[in-house]
Each structure stands twice: as structure tokens, then as C-alpha cells.
């Protein structure tokens, strides 16, 4: 399993909702087992730069690659990219 986590900040605070709502379009892509897009509720000296968090779970790298190559993903990124300042993405494979 791959956990895909992406943190976003908006260039303009007025666009935070647009970013969150736009990223929620990604839920229509069938490759993800789980996909959540929410506001960051943690506000402290280290996390106050993050406005929106995307959390996804994928069965494998193949499903994650399918997700990133999907038309909805590409169309969403075209809309969101100009509105964001920060984007940090991590992919982890939990070991048990």
C-alpha cells in the first residue's frame, strides 16, 4: 500500500476554499482506495503555512501512477497550480 500525502498553501487566503473544492474533484478518479481532501485544522508555529491536506491510499505504485495520469488529475492541476504557493508531497509505504 502507498500512502500519498500532499500539503498545500494558497497564494491568497481567498483561494483556500477554491483549492480545497477543486482538489475534491480528484475523488472521482477510481484508482484511490481512500482519498480525503480537507482544510488543515492544526494551527501552530510550524503548521500554519498549510491550508489544505490531501490524503490518499493506493494499492500499489501502479494505481498511484494511474491516478496521476488521469484526465481529471491533469485538469485539476491546471486550475489549482496557479492558486497555490506551497506544495509538499510525500509517498510512504507502511511497514508492519
Which residue segment(s) compose the domain that 83 sits in?
2-92
pTM (2 d.p.): 0.90
56-82: per-residue pLDDT in tens?
A: 999 999 999 999 999 999 999 999 999
Strands (E), the chain: 2-10, 34-39, 52-58, 84-92
Number of domains in the chain: 1
Give me the torsion for CA of 54, 11, 74, 30, rounded to 10°: 20
7, 88 contact by CB (below 8 A): yes
8, 54 contact by CB (below 8 A): yes
33-60: per-residue pLDDT in tens?
A: 999 999 998 877 666 689 999 999 999 9
4, 36 contact by CB (below 8 A): no
Say how far apart CA 5 and CA 42 lie, in whole Å. 15
CATH number at residue 73: 3.30.70.100
Amino acid at each position: 500500500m502507498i500512502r500519498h500525502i500532499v500539503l498545500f498553501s494558497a497564494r491568497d487566503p481567498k483561494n483556500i476554499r477554491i483549492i480545497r473544492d477543486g482538489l475534491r474533484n480528484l475523488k472521482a478518479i477510481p484508482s484511490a482506495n481512500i482519498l480525503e481532501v480537507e482544510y488543515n485544522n492544526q494551527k501552530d508555529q510550524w503548521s500554519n503555512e498549510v491550508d489544505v491536506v490531501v490524503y490518499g491510499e493506493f494499492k500499489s505504485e501502479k494505481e498511484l501512477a494511474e491516478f496521476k495520469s488521469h484526465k481529471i488529475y491533469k485538469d485539476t492541476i491546471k486550475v489549482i497550480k496557479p492558486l497555490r504557493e506551497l506544495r509538499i508531497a510525500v509517498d510512504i509505504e507502511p511497514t508492519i
